[in-house]
Amino acid sequence: MDELTFDPQGFTAADTTTEIEGYDDHVEQLENLNPEQDFRTPAEVAVQESAAQPQEPVQPQEPVQSQQPTAIEQIEQQEVVQPEVLDRRQQNRFVEYEEIGR
């Protein structure tokens, strides 16, 4: 009985599927036998579709003026309320009691 041994030094993890002799011929034969099937990858489909579309120069679009004011405009339109400056004794009623107790 033979023992199978594995030598990791001689192993490469590269995919050699496409290096098989006659692989391309076999794939072409399958494509010819099944014309209704699309064998292209999504990346290939995207490249071919983008190449088929005419390239038009992109013109910058004018910004659309909306009826709603933007957040910045709303902030600018708000009325500014100035803080009222109070006497220290009016701010804190307990200041009087602290000063009296000393």
Q: Decide if 78 is inside a domain.
A: no
List the pLDDT tens digit at each of the 102 positions of the chain.
Answer: 567 887 778 777 787 877 888 888 998 999 999 989 988 889 999 998 888 877 666 666 766 665 777 777 777 777 777 777 666 655 555 555 555 555
Q: Considering only CA atoms, which of 63, 65, 62, 83 is closest in space to residue 73?
A: 65
Q: Decide if 34 is inside a domain.
A: yes
Q: Decide if 67 is inside a domain.
A: no
* 54: its two tokens: 């005419």
Q: For residue 37, count other CB atoms closer than 10 A to its CB.
A: 9
Which residues span the domain enclosing 33? Answer: 25-51
Q: How many domains does the chain have?
A: 1
Q: What is the pLDDT at residue 102?
A: 52
Q: Decide if 35 is inside a domain.
A: yes
Q: Decide if 10 is inside a domain.
A: no
